[in-house]
Structure 1
Amino acid sequence: MPICAYDLWPDGNCRKAPDLKPTGRGSLRWLHFDLGDPELAGWIAEHLPPIPGRALTEQETRPRCDALGDGLILNLRGVNLNSGAAAAEMVSLRMWVTPKTIITVRKRKVFALDDIRQGCANGTGPGTVGRFLDQLIHGLALRARDVVLDLTAATETLEEQIDEGNLPADDALKTPRRDVLKLHRYMEPQRVALTRLQQLGDRIMTPEEQTDLREAVNLVTLSDEALTSLNHRLAVIQDHTDAELARKMSRNSYILSIVAAVFLPLGFVTGLFGVNVAGMPGLETPLAFAILCLALVALSAAMIVVLRWSRLF
């Protein structure tokens, strides 16, 4: 039923669990489940308290860390590195952690957790809860940092285009801004949850393990602060782009208005002289057409002079 089940010892030794009980022969038992497993609900109802059981099976989660008895309900998010998925669509990881048990439930593959599983499959793993959480959170934080660095590079490219006087394409600006907003939606509460974990960690971690965890939390904090900065920088680029487009549209509308102002009297005169009725002046004069053309040129010049004098052109 579970994706994996391991007993771990403090020296790093790791063996497959012979049964699916929450605790085993080692100092720590880790059980890892898929949320879509139809047998998961029954196992949880049999072995876990109701509140953490419901927390592990929620369809929608946000990062949190709450104490319950001798355990912690811990929900985290990691960047989505699954094939064909967008990294900003962060994947959820639900956890119930006690001094001797770690239960993890995922909906989609979490690569930081899969690294731990691969190590356990090779016979070595984190032998304590503190080491397990430190390795997991470091893995989540480093992968998130790489995605944030890519977004930072994309933002710097857009800023360079602005400095060179070029406006970025719509997709070039829309995509990183959307990704930053999606990541920031979970990274900020994740930072809060991990800060809370530091405060509650003494019940399941040694002081040395808490110190190591502090470095992982610092990485998450740096990524969250970088996302906040990127959000503001991209907003400035968007405002500048919108202002430039509005200025160009205003300029084009202004030029069209000037052209219309010049040609309006010309259209009136040509329309008037185009009336095919008797009595029009110049019908008997051979130079009438030339005189009319010269008059139209003079009228156009006069209109331009008036507009320039009025500072409208």
Structure 2
Amino acid sequence: MTFAWIVNKAGQRRITLEDVCAGKTDADFLWVHLDGRDPAALAWLERQSEIPEVAHRALIAQETRPRTEAMEQGALVNLRGLGATPEDDPDALVSIRIWAEKGRVISVCIRTPLALEPLCHEVSTGKIRDPGDLISTLATLITNGLDPDVAELGDTLDDCEVELEDRSIYAMRREVAKARSQAISYRRFVSPQRQALERLSTLGADWLDEHDRMHLREAADRCARMAEELEAVRERAALMHEQLTDLRAEQMDARALLIAIVALIFLPLTFLTGLLGMNVQGIPYHDEPWAFWGVVGVCALVAFGISAYFATIHWLKN
């Protein structure tokens, strides 16, 4: 989705890229958002000779990480946030590439960030008047959207720890593994994003006022807290995975012990019935009417005696 916003004393108005090309941009502040998959948008960006070549390559790069770099009269800012279509995004957080200079911001997205629509709403209500307002608001929206997801990962592990003895080990292992994988994916971008926001807040640009810097520092602090929470989730998930592995091993040992006890109980009974069941002459009492019930009684006594022995050494409790 490619569009542009112009902000001046008369208010704010959304325009198209064709309007920008036609020079209909009499504004104090211009924000141009480009779809990185749109050839026309990329062609327009190619014609912006005032953007340094290094910044231009960074704006259209396929793989990015959060960063802030001052370049000539402007700054290159790369941020990461939740995507509007997570099922189609290869990364946990989608990239927002920004070139900012006095009076103008150019942003490029290959995939749609979740914060884009709320950001447009902030512009439409007149709360954004310059590049500093735009970037600081974007940083706040990104952290506001990501914070609940990070907290939910911690809550998932809390629930797993509480229900450790009551739920299926296999289902819980899948939940823990998913939470750990998500935490690793988020932390990959959240940690450098904190550094990028901190660097941006100290950037000596005249389009950043103290109010913008305060919001950038606040967003950087929240990113730092989220990075710490994600690291804690990763470590807790690894510890819980070990606990689940040990618990599964204990269950398997207990089942193996039960099978062994049953086998030990029936081993002498099998020997006795096999011995008496041989088709040879000389089996004692084979003609007596009480012989069958006598053998059953002996087998019952043997089974009871072996079971009592295992009970006294506490095998049956395990």
| TM superposition score category, shorter chain reference | 0.7 to 0.9
Q: Name which of 75, 79, 89 aligns with 1:76.
A: 79
Find 2:222's aligned residue among 199, 219, 223: 219
Which segment is superposed worse, 257-266 or 55-64? Answer: 55-64
Closer, same or farther in 2 for the Cα pair 1:302/1:116, shift >3 Å?
closer
Q: How much has 1:251 moved relative to structure 2?
A: 1.1
Q: How many pairs align?
A: 307
For 1:36 and 1:208, the matched residues in 2 are separated by 34
Q: Which residue of 1 aligns with 2:7?
A: 8
| Structure 1 residues 138-196: Cα deviation after superposition (integer angstroms, max 9, x where no partner) | 1111111122233344333333334xx42364355444444333322322222222223
Measure the CA separation in 1 of the matches of 2:130 and 2:159.
44
Distance in 2 between the 1:71 and 1:172 partners? 45
Q: Are the structure 2 counterparts of residues 226 and 15 from structure 1 closer, same or farther at C-alpha, using a change threshold of 3 Å? A: same
- Which residue number in structure 1 is paired with residue 70 of structure 2? 67
8 A contact 1:5–1:20 mirrored in 2: no
Distance 1:116 1:310 in 2: 70
Q: CA deviation at 1:58?
A: 1.8
Residue 32 of structure 2 is aligned to residue 31 of structure 1: yes
Any conservation in 2 of the 1:22–1:101 contact (CA below 8 Å)? no
What 5-or-longer segments of structure 2 have no aligned partner? none
TM-score normalised by length of structure 1: 0.83
CA RMSD of aligned residues (A): 3.2
8 A contact 1:191–1:217 mirrored in 2: yes
- Supply the distance in 2 between the matched residues of 1:23 and 1:64 (Cα, whole angstroms): 32
Q: Please name the residue that 1:151 is paired with.
A: 153
More relative contact order, 1 or 2 (CA 8 Å, 6+ apart): 1
Aligned to 2:162: 160
Q: Aligned partners of 1:179, 1:23: CA distance in 2, in Å? A: 44
Could you say what secondary structure the match of 1:97 adopts? Answer: strand
> Could you tell me how far apart the structure 2 residues matched to 1:208 and 1:302 are?
84
Deviates more, 1:93-102 or 1:294-303: 294-303
Contact 2:82 2:115 in 1 (8 A): no
Distance, in Å, in 2 between the alignment partners of 1:57 and 1:278 is: 95
Partner of 2:288: 285
Give the Cα–Cα distance (whole angstroms) in 2 for the partners of residues 12 and 217 of structure 1. Answer: 33
CA distance in 2, matches of 1:233, 1:49: 45
Counterpart residue type for residue 166 of structure 2: N
- Post-superposition offset of 1:124: 2.6
Structure 1 segment 7-156 matched on structure 2, within 5 A: 7-9=6-8, 13-16=11-14, 18-20=19-21, 25-47=26-48, 48-82=51-85, 89-120=92-123, 122=124, 124-156=126-158
AA matched with 2:118: D
